[in-house]
Amino acid sequence: MAAIDDTSEPDGPVRNVHPTLVEAAWLYQADQVRPEDLPMTAAQALAMGMNTPALCELAGLPRHADPRDIRETFEQALEELRIALPLCPITTWPDDTR
């Protein structure tokens, strides 16, 4: 898995967990992460000091929860943390942009 460049502001609210959650957002958007793995990602973010209602809810969801519920809660957590999902999956970049 490639490293993510952390270009967040030094005093930004998601500085400490930015790479973990941003990487998860990219992988999620590229359909490269299983929904059942997202609650553990949320738990790791909580352990690093983040605390939003949706992040707590996501961390508490069981792996066998409805994938639609996991996805919805993950997207809400990202929104609460002001982490935008990429506009298009990394696997669909047009050939002329490389």
Q: Write down the pLDDT at residue 66.
A: 97
**pLDDT of 41-74, one tens digit each?**
999 999 989 899 999 999 999 999 999 999 999 9
Entry pTM: 0.71
- Mean local confidence (pLDDT), 19-34: 88
Q: Write down the pLDDT at residue 87.
A: 80
**Poorest-pLDDT segment among 4-8, 15-19, 82-86:** 4-8
CB under 8 Å to 24, separation ≥6 — which residues? 33, 38, 41, 74
Q: Write down the pLDDT at residue 4.
A: 42
